[in-house]
Structure 1
Amino acid sequence: MIILGLTGSIGMGKSTTASMFRDAGVPVHDSDEAVHRLYSGVAAHLIEERFPGVVSQGTVDRDKLAQAVLGKPDALRDLERIVHPLVRADSDAFVKRHRDAGTPVILLDIPLLFETGGENRVDRIVVVSAPAEVQRERVLARPGMTEQKFEAILARQVPDAEKRRRADFIVDSSKGMEAARASVRDIIAQLPGGKPA
């Protein structure tokens, strides 16, 4: 079984690209989606213990949590210590399920793949990228996003140029949906056992 790792800096189009792999028949484990599930499940009480007042009706309020950790490196590290092992366990269960089923290719969508040592868990790395001005425009168009928030997020991420250098495959998301979809099909076709659906 080939395990692809998908990553890309904020605003690069990683989630859209993950959907394209899913549409092409590749099972996808989405770390962000796993976090959403955990925030309404097993992680909620652990996060509330460390950050009192951020959980309401059994679910982590992401805005309150952001206020509790943004610009506070120690608080952010504490949050990561709670969440990362839970996401990793969820991902490991996904990998095992597909290995047992004989799935030829799966994809792990890991936003902070290089930042968390995730490259050691995958066989090939796909980086989604776009020019910096396209990225900035996309991110600043998001509701509630500010220059300050954007810069704080970027500061925590491995630079795009470094991600591209370490990638096995690059999907340029600035050339339109069809070009990105063609890149995805091409990547799958190059893998042993990989045939786009």
Structure 2
Amino acid sequence: MIVVGLTGSIGMGKSTTARFFLEAGVPVHDSDEAVHRLYAGKAAPLIEAAFPGTVTDGVVDRTALASRILGDGEAIRTVERIVHPLVRADADAFLEVQRNAGQPLAVLDIPLLFETGGEGRVDRIVVVSAPDEVQRARVLARPGMTVEKFEAILARQVPDAEKRVRADFVVESDEGLDEARRSVEAIVEKLREEARSDA
């Protein structure tokens, strides 16, 4: 089975691209969705122990947590030390299920693939990309997003230009949904062919 790492900086269109992989019949593990589940499960007591008052009724209050850790590098690293291993275990369990089902391809949607050294966990890397001004407009249109918050997030991400260089495939997300969907379908076809020849 070929494991595909799907990544891209904030606002690049990664979630939409992940949906196109699903539509093409490729199972996708969504790290953000896993975090949501973990924040209502295994991660909640660990987060509460580290940051008292950020959990309500057994669920991490993301807004409360964000306000506690924004701009505090050590606090952010503490959250990452708690959450990343749990997400990784969740992804490993997902891959095991797909392998046992005989899937030729599976996608790990990992926002911070390069930042967390995740390249070693995948066979191929797909980076979703768009011009800076498109990215900025998309992100600043999000509810509750500020320029300060956007800049803080960007500062912690590997630059888009570097991600593109390190990718096996790049999906340009600013050329319309149909074009992005066609890009994904072409990638899936190529990798399925590769999986067949390796079998």
TM range, normalised to the smaller chain?
over 0.9
C-alpha deviation, 1:192, in angstroms: 3.5
* Residues 104 and 193, structure 1, Cα contact 8 Å, conserved in 2: no
**Within-5 A mapping of 1:142-161:** 142-161=142-161
State yes or no: 1:124 paired with 2:124: yes
C-alpha deviation, 1:99, in angstroms: 1.1
Aligned equivalent of 2:72: 72
* Residues 134 and 174, structure 1, Cα contact 8 Å, conserved in 2: yes
What secondary structure is seen at the aligned counterpart in 1 of 2:127? Answer: strand
Aligned equivalent of 1:101: 101
CA separation in 2, counterparts of 1:115 and 1:70?
18
CA separation in 1, counterparts of 2:6 and 2:142?
22
C-alpha deviation, 1:194, in angstroms: 7.2
What secondary structure is seen at the aligned counterpart in 1 of 2:106? Answer: strand
Aligned equivalent of 1:11: 11
CA separation in 1, counterparts of 2:103 and 2:121?
17
- Match for 2:34: what amino acid? A
State yes or no: 1:62 paired with 2:66: no
Given the two structures, how large is their TM-score scaled by the length of structure 1? 0.97
Once the two structures are superposed, residues 31-90 of structure 1 have per-residue CA deviations (whole angstroms, 9 ceiling, x without a partner) of: 000000000001000000000000001110100000111100111111000000000000
What secondary structure is seen at the aligned counterpart in 1 of 2:53? Answer: coil
Given the two structures, how large is their TM-score scaled by the length of structure 2? 0.96
What secondary structure is seen at the aligned counterpart in 2 of 1:174? Answer: coil
Structure 1 residues without counterparts, runs of 5 or longer: none
* Residues 188 and 194, structure 1, Cα contact 8 Å, conserved in 2: no
Equivalenced residue count is: 195
C-alpha deviation, 1:100, in angstroms: 1.5
Structure 2 residues without counterparts, runs of 5 or longer: none
* Residues 48 and 55, structure 1, Cα contact 8 Å, conserved in 2: yes
State, as a whole percentage, how many aligned pairs show the same letter: 70
* Residues 125 and 169, structure 1, Cα contact 8 Å, conserved in 2: yes
CA separation in 2, counterparts of 1:145 and 1:134?
15
CA separation in 2, counterparts of 1:117 and 1:99?
23
What secondary structure is seen at the aligned counterpart in 1 of 2:174? Answer: helix
Aligned equivalent of 1:32: 32
CA separation in 2, counterparts of 1:29 and 1:170?
19
Cα root mean square deviation, aligned: 1.1
- Match for 2:36: what amino acid? H
C-alpha deviation, 1:193, in angstroms: 4.5
C-alpha deviation, 1:102, in angstroms: 1.2
Alpha carbons of structure 1 residues 165 and 44: separation in structure 2 relative to 1, 3 Å: same
CA separation in 2, counterparts of 1:15 and 1:94?
18
What secondary structure is seen at the aligned counterpart in 2 of 1:115? Answer: coil
- Match for 1:10: what amino acid? I
**Runs in 1 of length 4+ with deviation above 2 angstroms?**
192-195
